[in-house]
Structure 1
Amino acid sequence: MKAAPDPRAVRDASLDELERLGLPLPPPAFPLVWEPGDGVELRATGEIEARVAVLHVVVARCFGMPTEIAMSWLLSSHLVDFVTPPEWQFVAGSKGDHRSFVLHHDAVFALAWVLGLSRHLDPTAPPEDRLMQQMPDLPGGELFDRWRSRALVAPRDAIEAAVLLDLYYCLDWAFQEAEKAGAPVPGEVDSNAIGQRRWGLEWAVVFSGPYHEDPPEWEEVDLSV
């Protein structure tokens, strides 16, 4: 666990970036993500890798991966315990909001960045073309452990991830406000993609301090604020 950076200095930099992008700024009382004196770390690398792999299978199901093959891959990779109930219902029975599961591609992008598998997490750009090559080769039957040995992840520094989380926290508000007002947003992504990337960062970055509870499960991440 490291000491988190000064949250107000980080917020000032986030607001400067929103201004540069021509986005609306949140109100003065907009909450900080962490408080002075808090600690920060990333979740365990293996846990993040497992989450990336599960989400990759969920997205693959959206694009036609057969149920039997998806379930067999999760079982053979010993990842069933990492699948959330909504994800299992979708993978096993195609139940749930197909569109919302498709959007998880951007959550995968954020977690790939955390693991060092993506070179950037530019809020104006879509996921890198090479992202799919960095993920488990599902059609080729590459199981989780083999993928891990191939991927050789190099997780980001927790402070770097916290700084980007603060930016995406502000971007999530700004993109939604801009779209509500009918104003243009910069680049090639929309508020849904920004929200998914924030989801990944919120889950992966763990803070400690008097105002932080235990890290949330994937489905418990609160994106309402």
Structure 2
Amino acid sequence: MRVPAPDPRAVREASLDELSRLGLPLPPPQFPLVWEPGDEIELRPTREIEARIAVLHVILARCFGMPAQAAMSWLLESHLVEMVTPPEWQFVMGGKGDHRSFVLHHDALFSLAWVLGLAKELDPTVPVDERLVERMPNLVAGETFGQWRARILAAPQHPADAAALLDLHYCLDWAYLESEEAGLALPGLVDANAIGQRRWALEWAVVLRGPYHDEPPGWEEVDLST
């Protein structure tokens, strides 16, 4: 469902109010808006987000001991191999790559779960809900991708709400990095790495349409440099 984007300045004002409430530094006045007036927004197709969640879940399972053959077999049987990026495939098959960076995807998965209504809130001060695993594919029991989709009955967020949370995490990402660099106390148990992962997922899931936006990026192409 493509809808008109909310007023970006009003959304940014709300994001800055939240940063102030959390006691975080505010970005400079020239800090870019995420979208422009007149743009449109939508979420990626639900099945595509579900597939990304499933792939990240398998990768995290590999991080914590799932055998490569079992992971590969599940992805093949679920017809999800084409959704696995080359770096992810190297890790799934041979354990190659930065193990720690793949573990951090736990927060990206949490963010995507919120987008599909599988998590109630995405509070920047609170770590991933431990009960989230109950809403993920049961790999041990052999639950297939199709069976999992039927069980969870995803209820995606409204695109405007997801876009507002994206703007907040765009600002939070800057504020958390600034705070950690300056040695300032953070407002909760979540660090800059986790905020960056949550932003990554939102940047991927929320599709912005307008004259200044390119086509939606692939998972590995999401730009977090600004």
Structure 2 residue 107 is matched with structure 1 residue 106: yes
The alignment partner of 1:180 has SS state of helix
- 1:192 aligned onto 2:185: no
CA–CA distance in 2 between the matches of 1:128 and 1:102?
15
Aligned to 2:116: 115
Following the alignment from structure 1 to structure 2, what is the Cα–Cα distance between the partners of residues 30 and 62? 36
Q: By how many angstroms is 1:172 displaced?
A: 0.3
Give unpaired runs (5+ residues) of structure 2.
none
Secondary structure class of the residue paired with 2:20: helix
Amino acid of the structure 1 residue aligned with 2:18: E
Unaligned runs of 5+ in 1: none
TM-score using structure 2 length:
0.99
What is the rounded CA distance, in whole Å, between the counterparts of 1:9 and 1:213 in structure 2? Answer: 24
Aligned to 1:154: 155
Query: 1:217 Cα shift?
Result: 0.3
1:128 offset after TM fit, Å?
1.1
Partner residue in 1 for 2:216: 215
Give the whole-Å Cα distance in 2 for the aligned partners of 1:172 and 1:62.
25
The TM-score with structure 1 as length reference comes to: 0.99
2:65 equivalent to 1:64: yes
3-state SS, counterpart of residue 130 of structure 2:
coil
Identity of aligned residues (%): 71
Aligned to 1:81: 82
Equivalent residue for 1:204?
205
1:17 Cα offset (Å): 0.4
Letter in 1 for 2:13: D
SS of the counterpart of 1:211? Answer: coil
Q: Deviations over 1:147-201 (max 9, x none)?
A: 0000100000000000000000000000000000000111111000000000000
Q: After TM superposition, which residue ranges in structure 1, 4 or more long, deviate above 2 angstroms? A: none
Query: Aligned partners of 1:61, 1:28: CA distance in 2, in Å?
Result: 43
Q: Does the residue aligned with 2:186 lie in a helix, a strand or coil?
A: coil
How far apart, in 1, do the equivalents of 2:90 and 2:65 lie? Answer: 16
Q: In the TM superposition, what is the alpha-carbon distance from 1:129 to its structure 2 partner?
A: 1.8
Q: CA deviation at 1:224?
A: 0.6
Query: Which residue matches 1:52?
Result: 53
The one-letter code of the counterpart of 1:132 is V
Q: CA deviation at 1:41?
A: 0.3
SS in 2 for 1:72: helix
Q: SS at the partner of 2:69?
A: helix
Alignment partner of 2:142: what SS? coil
Give the 3-state SS of the residue equivalent to 1:130 in structure 2. Answer: helix
Please report the RMSD computed on the Cα atoms of aligned residues, expressed in angstroms: 0.4
How far off its partner does 1:127 sit? 1.1
